Amino acid sequence: MLKIVNIVGARPNFMKIAPIVREMRRRENDFQPLIVHTGQHYDQAMSDSFFNDLGIPKPDFHLEVGSASHAVQTAKIMTAFEPVVLEEKPDWVLVVGDVNSTIACALVCAKLGIKVAHVEAGLRSRDRTMPEEINRLLTDQISDLLLTTSQDADENLKDEGITHDKIRFVGNVMIDSLFYSLKLAESSTVREDLNLNKKDYAVLTLHRPSNVDEKQTFSGLLEALCKISEKLPVIFPAHPRTLSRIAEFGFTERIESSNIKLIEPLGYLDFMRLYSGAKLVLTDSGGLQEETTALSIPCLTLRENTERPITIEMGTNVLVGTNSEKIKQTAFEVLARKADSKDKKIPPLWDGRTAERICDILFEMK
């Protein structure tokens, strides 16, 4: 039996780890899965809601590191995680995504000679000013097994000198969570609570420091969003960081006088129910680019680059950057376009069975 320590630290990790842990628990004779929650995402209520919505067991270890600078947070995770590894002596530690918890736990294992599997390996934005890009690059260099979501990720790893025997193209485990949870999300009343009709509204997420910490950039984005909201309401579940910047920059009145509706952050199922009924999604998130691709929902990515180019190749995602005119023009073009089922393309292996393939590979490599 393989003892696997699964690392979660921030909300995107929960969606990626949930199907893997479910599959490991189903194969109870083959796997002993443990969950370590680093506490990098320090909002306990939101963490609990994601665990409940996704059906993830309570963590076996909670490191409670909380918020801090990148250096301090990474160091705190490493210091708290090392005793867990020494105590449990796992066969593998499985890390997901690109947050500080990912690189911190991978580093601890690399020093102790514990094998690391990285889920969502090989994604590249080519922008080293993004902390996540540094985390991706370094985690992939010290991992023993690189589990990729798309074939362009395989090529990125090979170009960086990773040997072929370490790379496995398994598909996108986020889509496992999506397909598993769509039916569950039908019980959410979030659309009714907000008086929304399906395909009659847009959804916005905005949290990246490059977008919300610079007043001029944020102001330009807001100008475009206010114009878009004249065509249809824009529902904006606002990240606490973003809310504080809105107040700091004096943007509250602009938003309140528009058709942008600020709401509190939502749990996983409520948010899924919200965006799955949207006519348009605008985001600077990574995961939403993938989920909207799988659901064939038009998505405008408010960034200058993306580590998920396959979502653009599939035709559902458009990279619009932060230029106000480009955002407005593209949004209006998308809203005027009639949906065509022939345009719907789903990337290879985004089929809801990625967790099965990951567990198969781990068991084969025992």
Instruction: Judge contact between 120 and 17, C-beta under 8 A.
Output: no
User: Is 109's pLDDT higher than 60?
Assistant: yes
- pLDDT mean over 338-350: 77
How far apart, in whole angstroms, are the C-alpha atoms of residue 256 and residue 252?
A: 6
User: Is 45's pLDDT higher than 60?
Assistant: no
Q: Which amino acid is at 131?
A: P
Domain encompassing residue 203: 187-343
The reply to whether 7 and 144 lie within a common domain is yes
Instruction: Judge contact between 125 and 133, C-beta under 8 A.
Output: yes
Element spanning 281, H or E: strand 280-283
Region of poorest pLDDT, from 59-68, 76-85, 151-160, 331-340: 331-340
User: Is 8's pLDDT higher than 90?
Assistant: yes
User: Is 343's pLDDT higher than 70?
Assistant: no
**Residue 7 — φ and ψ, nearest 5°?**
-100, 130
Assess if residue 180 is contained within a domain. no
Residues annotated as catalytic are 207
**Residue 254 — φ and ψ, nearest 5°?**
-60, -40
Region of poorest pLDDT, from 5-19, 49-63, 127-141, 207-221: 49-63
Tokens 């809601």: give the residue.
49
How far apart, in whole angstroms, are the C-alpha atoms of residue 77 and residue 66?
A: 9
**CATH code for the domain in which residue 160 is found:** 3.40.50.2000
The reply to whether 131 and 12 lie within a common domain is yes
The reply to whether 252 and 271 lie within a common domain is yes
Q: What is the pLDDT of residue 51?
A: 79
The reply to whether 44 and 192 lie within a common domain is no
Cα radius of gyration (the chain): 20
The reply to whether 314 and 281 lie within a common domain is yes
The reply to whether 126 and 200 lie within a common domain is no
The reply to whether 160 and 244 lie within a common domain is no
Please report the DSSP string for 80-148 in residue order: HHHHHHHHH--SEEEEETTSHHHHHHHHHHHHHT-EEEEEEET---S-TTSHHHHHHHHHHHH-SEEEE
User: Is 102's pLDDT higher than 60?
Assistant: yes
Which residues are CB-contacts of 201 (< 8 A; sequence separation ≥ 6)?
232, 233, 234, 235, 277, 278, 279
Assess if residue 182 is contained within a domain. no
Which residues are CB-contacts of 44 (< 8 A; sequence separation ≥ 6)?
none
292-330 pLDDT tens trace: 999 999 999 999 999 999 999 987 999 999 999 999 999
Which position has the higher pLDDT, 21 or 338? 21
The reply to whether 78 and 12 lie within a common domain is yes
Q: What is the pLDDT of residue 57?
A: 87
Assess if residue 178 is contained within a domain. no
Average predicted confidence (pLDDT) for the chain: 94
How far apart, in whole angstroms, are the C-alpha atoms of residue 201 and residue 191?
A: 10
Q: What is the pLDDT of residue 46?
A: 61
What are the residue ranges of helices labelled H in 131-282?
A: 131-142, 151-159, 173-185, 190-193, 209-212, 215-228, 240-248, 252-256, 268-275
Q: What is the pLDDT of residue 340?
A: 62
CA torsion sign for 277, 279, 282, 285 is: positive
162-199 pLDDT tens trace: 999 999 999 999 999 999 999 999 999 999 999 999 99
The reply to whether 261 and 157 lie within a common domain is no
User: Is 67's pLDDT higher than 90?
Assistant: no
The reply to whether 199 and 166 lie within a common domain is no
- pLDDT mean over 33-51: 79
Assess if residue 317 is contained within a domain. yes
Q: Count the Cβ atoms, other than its own, within 10 Å of residue 347.
A: 21
11-32 pLDDT tens trace: 889 999 999 999 999 999 999 9
Q: Count the Cβ atoms, other than its own, within 10 Å of residue 115.
A: 17
The total domain count for the chain is 2
The reply to whether 35 and 166 lie within a common domain is yes
Sheet holding 167-169, edge to edge: 61-62, 31-37, 2-8, 92-96, 115-121, 145-148, 167-169
How far apart, in whole angstroms, are the C-alpha atoms of residue 49 and residue 35?
A: 16
The reply to whether 98 and 231 lie within a common domain is no
Enter the DSSP assignment of 261.
E
The CA distances from residue 247 to 220, 229, 253, 254, in Å, are 16, 20, 9, 11
